[in-house]
C-alpha cells in the first residue's frame, strides 16, 4: 500500500513539473508585438514564427528598428540574435550585475551616466561613414538582415 502511495505522489509531482514547464515555455513564446514596437522602417520589419521572431532588414533605401514598450532601470536581458554572419551566437547584456562592458559612474566629475529608466532598443542601419574603416558596402549583396528570437516577456 505504501508503495502505491509513493507511485501516486511521484506521478503527481511529475505531472506538476510537466505542466509548470509547459506553462513557462508558453509564457516565453509571446509575440514581439506584445512587448515591443517598431519605431522606424516598418517596411523593413518582418515577423515570422507566429510573431515570436522578428527580422530587421536593411537595403540602400532604409533599415529598421524596434524598442520595448516598457522602460527598465536595471535587469537582465538576453535574446538570440542572427546577424550577417555564418553562425548564430547568443549575445547577453548585463545591467547592474556582471557587465560585459563597464561604464563606470563618474557623474561626480560631470560625465553623463544613465540615471533613469530606458527602453531596450535594437536596429539595423547604415553605419558605413564611421563603422567600416573606409570600406564601402556592397549593396548588390543586400538586403542584409538581423534576426531576433527569444525576447523575454516584459
| Domain ranges, ordered by start, for the chain | 1-30, 31-149
The predicted model gives 5-12 an average pLDDT of: 43
pLDDT at 52 (0 to 100): 84
Q: Report pLDDT digits (tens) over 39-98.
A: 999 999 999 888 888 899 999 999 999 998 888 776 655 656 555 555 555 555 555 565
* Residues 33, 49 contacting (CB under 8 angstroms): no
CATH for 31-149 is 2.60.120.200
**Residues 125-138, buried b or exposed e (16+ Cβ, 10 A)?**
eeeeeeeeeeeeee
To the nearest 10°, the Cα dihedral for 95, 101, 104, 109? -130
- Highest mean pLDDT pick, 5-9, 22-26, 64-68: 64-68
Residues in the chain: 154
For residue 124, give the 3-state DSSP assignment. Answer: strand
Calculate the alpha carbon distances from 87 to 51, 82, 90, 93 in Å: 22, 7, 10, 19
Mean pLDDT of the chain: 71
Euclidean distance between CA atoms 5 and 59, whole angstroms: 65
pLDDT at 53 (0 to 100): 86
* Residues 56, 45 contacting (CB under 8 angstroms): yes
* Cβ neighbours for 56, distance < 8 A, ≥ 6 positions apart: 41, 44, 45, 63, 64, 65, 66, 122, 123, 124, 145, 146, 147, 148
Amino acid at each position: 500500500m505504501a508503495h502505491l502511495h509513493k507511485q501516486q505522489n511521484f506521478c503527481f509531482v511529475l505531472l506538476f513539473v510537466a505542466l509548470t514547464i509547459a506553462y513557462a515555455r508558453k509564457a516565453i513564446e509571446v509575440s514581439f508585438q506584445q512587448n515591443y514596437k517598431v519605431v522606424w522602417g516598418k517596411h523593413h520589419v518582418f515577423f515570422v514564427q507566429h510573431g515570436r521572431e522578428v527580422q530587421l532588414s536593411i537595403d540602400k533605401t532604409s533599415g529598421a528598428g524596434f524598442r520595448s514598450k516598457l522602460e527598465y532601470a536595471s535587469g537582465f536581458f538576453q535574446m538570440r540574435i542572427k546577424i550577417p554572419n555564418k553562425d548564430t551566437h547568443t549575445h547577453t547584456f548585463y545591467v547592474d550585475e556582471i557587465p560585459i562592458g563597464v561604464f563606470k559612474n563618474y557623474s561626480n566629475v560631470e560625465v553623463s551616466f544613465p540615471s533613469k529608466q530606458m527602453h531596450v532598443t535594437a536596429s539595423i542601419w547604415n553605419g558605413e561613414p564611421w563603422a567600416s574603416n573606409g570600406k564601402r558596402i556592397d549593396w548588390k549583396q543586400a538586403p542584409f538582415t538581423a534576426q531576433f528570437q527569444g525576447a523575454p516577456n516584459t
